[in-house]
């Protein structure tokens, strides 16, 4: 799909109505009130709908509100050191030098980092359990191809593996909840809040699945692609390296000593404020790779927005590419240019209204935006502080161009078509 300034069209997936809105007018429709993000994804993504019941919660954007109540500043601050510890443990497992598959290795790190926020710290503490979760989500993601939406009933081997993986995830979630209830544990986290409010097990499992799907399918690949672009665009890698060095110096951190413990004591506000180059690059990488359709479901009753009829229960899709690759908003949109997201350039685009939805927009802000950015910053800071590294192809040659993207999966930041590796060596004195 290429960017378009056109209006809209519709089609059916089985008995469901799907309305695709395009261009700037379509953007206005998509950002209107009464559209629920999870209600869209859980019905159109078979890897979720096949193992979780589909009974909706009541109220406008109710699940968005539920998720937002947990991924908030207090919770991030509470688990800050735990998240850093997860990154540190993952890097320590790499050893002093070696070569690993970049996207696969990053998946495991992000799983470890995300599990505490989902209330599953117990799972994060066991390496084999983390590996099992990575495998589960790999099998679940096999079902996000278009054919799975059109022919979901065909009992293919992929579908059978997907159903079994979903059941396995459900059982793991149930075991964590039952263990807490058996021991009478009261933990100050998102999972305990759901238990205390007596959410059914199906809704608890859905919440955990949502957090982990968002982490694995977007944050992990976004971080991996960021490292790819740093390899290909060396001046930006040098700028980030200098920024990390200054950040450590300003925070009175000596790399050769207790690096991980020292960084855990750095206020989150410092990571928010003192790593702007990493943030610019992350925004631009997401612009380039968030090109597919975003989905919402109309749960606010029949409505008309900008002349578009939106029947209650219909699905609304909007291709992010209509904004992110629109040359009026982003000249030479295929070019990697992080300066597009300086304060000055963002201000210049405000005359067009919302021009970027990589982190959501309007009433549909991504509730995990700060968490994702902090995770990426943590991983880059610790990686650059501890290792010299380069990103290579399967022949161990440093990348000189950005690899082609695998495009046969929907609703996510996709990985590359060909394998990409990270070759690393620990720095002297670390």
DSSP state of 219: I
Which residue, among 131, 214, 217, has the nearest Cα to 409 in the 3D structure? 217
Which residue, among 380, 377, 376, 383, has the nearest Cα to 427 in the 3D structure? 383
Which residue, among 291, 148, 130, 117, has the nearest Cα to 210 in the 3D structure? 117
Sign of CA dihedral 40, 219, 87, 167: positive
Strands 16-21 and 315-319: parallel
Which helix (DSSP H) or strand (DSSP E) does residue 85 occupy? helix 80-94
Enter the tokens of residue 154: 């065909």
Question: Please, which residues bridge with residue 101 across strands?
Answer: 421
Determine contact, residues 37/64, Cβ cutoff 8 Å: yes
Determine contact, residues 391/102, Cβ cutoff 8 Å: yes
Question: Please, which residues bridge with residue 13 across strands?
Answer: 16
| Cβ count within 10 A of residue 58 | 6
Q: Is 366 annotated as a binding residue?
A: yes
Sign of CA dihedral 298, 301, 304, 308: positive
In whole angstroms, what separates CA 135 from the centre of its chain? 17
Per the annotation, binding residues for heme are 366
Per the annotation, binding residues are 366
């Amino acid at each position: 799909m290429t960017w378009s300034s056109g209006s809209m069209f519709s089609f059916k997936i089985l008995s469901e109505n799907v309305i695709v809105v395009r261009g700037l007018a379509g953007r206005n429709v998509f950002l209107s009130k009464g559209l629920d993000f999870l209600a869209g994804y859980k019905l159109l993504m078979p890897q979720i709908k096949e193992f979780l019941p589909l009974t909706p919660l009541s109220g406008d954007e109710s699940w968005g509100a539920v998720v937002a109540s947990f991924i908030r500043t207090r919770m991030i601050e509470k688990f800050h050191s735990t998240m850093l510890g997860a990154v540190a443990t993952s890097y320590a497992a790499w050893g002093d030098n070696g070569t690993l598959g970049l996207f696969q290795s990053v998946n495991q790190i992000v799983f470890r980092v995300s599990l505490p926020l989902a209330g599953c710290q117990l799972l994060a503490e066991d390496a084999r359990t983390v590996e099992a979760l990575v495998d589960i989500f790999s099998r679940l993601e096999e079902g996000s191809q278009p054919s799975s939406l059109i022919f979901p009933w065909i009992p293919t081997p992929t579908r059978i593996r997907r159903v079994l993986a979903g059941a396995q995830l459900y059982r793991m979630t149930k075991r964590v909840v039952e263990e807490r209830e058996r021991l009478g544990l009261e933990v100050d986290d998102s999972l305990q809040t759901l238990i205390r409010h007596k959410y059914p097990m199906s809704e608890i499992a859905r919440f955990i699945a949502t957090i982990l799907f968002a982490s694995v399918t977007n944050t992990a690949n976004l971080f991996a692609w960021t490292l790819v672009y740093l390899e290909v665009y060396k001046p930006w890698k040098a700028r980030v390296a200098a920024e990390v060095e200054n950040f450590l110096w300003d925070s009175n951190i000596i790399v050769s000593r207790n690096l991980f413990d020292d960084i855990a004591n750095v206020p989150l506000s410092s990571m928010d404020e003192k790593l702007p180059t990493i943030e610019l690059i992350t925004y631009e990488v997401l612009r380039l790779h968030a090109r597919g359709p975003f989905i919402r479901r109309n749960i606010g009753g029949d409505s008309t927005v900008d002349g578009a009829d939106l029947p209650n229960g219909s699905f609304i899709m909007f291709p992010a590419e209509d904004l992110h690759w629109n040359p009026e908003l982003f000249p030479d949109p295929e070019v990697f240019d992080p300066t597009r997201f300086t304060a000055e350039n963002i201000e210049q685009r405000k005359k067009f209204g919302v021009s970027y939805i990589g982190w959501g927009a309007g009433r549909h802000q991504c509730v995990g935006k700060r968490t994702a950015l902090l995770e990426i910053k943590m991983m880059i800071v610790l990686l650059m502080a501890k290792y010299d590294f380069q990103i290579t192809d399967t022949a161990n040659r440093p990348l000189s161009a950005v690899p082609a993207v695998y495009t046969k999966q929907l609703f996510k930041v996709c990985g590359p078509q060909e394998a990409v590796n990270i070759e690393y060596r620990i720095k002297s004195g670390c």
